Amino acid sequence: MMRLSTAQPDFAAALARLLTRAQGLAEVSAQVREIIARVRAEGDEALLGYTARFDRQRLTAAELRVTRAEMDAAEAATPPRLREALAVAARRIEAFHRAQLPRGIEYTDEAGVVCGMRWGALDAVGLYVPGGKAAYPSSVLMNAIPARVAGVGRIAMVVPAPDGVLNPLVLAAAKAAGLDEIYRVGGAQAVAALAYGTASIARVDRIVGPGNAYVAEAKRQVFGQVGIDSIAGPSEVLIIADDGNDPDRVAMDLLAQAEHDEDAQSILVTPSGRLAARVETAVAAALTALPRREIAGASWERHGAIILVQGWDEAAAIANQVAPEHLQLMLAEPWPLFAKIRHAGAVFLGRDTPEAMGDYIIGPNHVLPTSGTARFASGLSVYDFMKRTTYAEAPGAALAALGPHAVALAEAEGLTAHAASIALRLAKD
């Protein structure tokens, strides 16, 4: 774990080193390229072959799709407390994303031209859901519900089932999200099937959802054939905290991110040396009892940091430079500092709004830009499942008023057919 201070002469270089985390996608690029090529050429045969090889599950094409009976059984096997939690989360996620639905525009300008833009949903979306040890029903809700709210006509979910085991809670979440087209396949081969289609799985227009390095690389390689949400890197949190915080709470918020993955990153920024020391001690103590202590400990040791700053302006500047996936402002009065934040995937305000609440139940999406990409990217929303179409109508008077200017510009660009297509109409009038 790095201990940094903005007062040290090499702070800028040290912070840059801290933020450098190799994702290693290049190492799997060739393997993924081969998998995609085979699925594209051989369809179900390659898909089933890779499923047998990587997931130790031999299936026929007819067995790829999860049945309604299996979904009903998974829902029935889910304890009532968890069914209720899924239902509450689904309602809150839907409410937040329904509030995002955009409105089209249309106006008639002074020349008499009608200009407009309308929104429409994608026809088909593929949702990748991790399986096996990394089975996250919350990700099903966060990816599927915005697509449904946007009005996507078809949502196809793929989820690996290592050794033939499907997590019942993932299927229960799928049912809560209104999904009914689910396939028990994963990895780069599932991404390829969604992108290019096979006899059993029809192609989609966009692929969203988290996965391992092979899935991320597959999404990168099929981009252009289909749209994708992002190439997600390791998870991260940056916490800005004042001295009034309970160090045990701050420590657990740091570890909540660290337990995701050995490459996850947790950073504390504070002007209080006292809080920094107490949090460091609290992290060490909490790790001894944490069930995922090996993962969280490795993350904290390799990528964790505590940064001492000399004021809140420095803290805001660091946050904007890091552009973290998750930003917690654990302050007595967080709103003034929030006003200075320009780059963050999602921000959690106050001492009692841990990022973990956002992962599950608050409502805004937990699929967020990582690795500094919050400088130019946003979290998943209904907009990811919609597209805009502009339209215009130029009646005769508008054509007469604007056409000569368009002809002049077309001729200046040497595009004579462009100019003629307009001039012919002007001459007719």
Active site positions, annotated: 325-326
Side-chain half-sphere CA neighbours of 40 within 13 A: 15
Maximal CA-CA distance, the chain: 85
- Tell me the C-alpha distance between 20 and 22, whole Å: 6
Amino acid at 61: A
Pair 101, 382: CB distance under 8 Å: yes
Q: Which of 24, 49, 46 lies closest to 36 in space, CA to CA? A: 46
Rounded to an integer, what is the distance from CA 155 to the centroid of its chain? 17
Strand, coil or helix: 238: strand
Token pair 């396939």: residue: 183
Q: Which of 344, 248, 236 lies closest to 300 in space, CA to CA? A: 236
Q: Which two tokens stand for residue 311?
A: 């004021």
Side-chain half-sphere CA neighbours of 73 within 13 A: 7
Strand, coil or helix: 367: coil
Q: Report the side by side order of strands in the sheet with 305-308.
A: 2-5, 305-308, 265-270, 236-241, 326-330, 346-349
Angle of helix 68-77 relative to helix 168-176, nearest 10 degrees, comes to 110
- Tell me the C-alpha distance between 182 and 137, whole Å: 14
Pair 269, 307: CB distance under 8 Å: yes
- Tell me the C-alpha distance between 358 and 326, whole Å: 9
Q: Which of 214, 208, 212 lies closest to 379 in space, CA to CA? A: 208
The H helix count followed by the E strand count for the chain is: 17, 14
Pair 338, 328: CB distance under 8 Å: no
Angle ∠(116,121,123) on CA atoms, nearest 5: 130
Exposed/middle/buried for 323, CB within 10 Å: 0-12, 13-18, 19+?
A: buried
Q: Which of 175, 178, 184 lies closest to 82 in space, CA to CA? A: 175
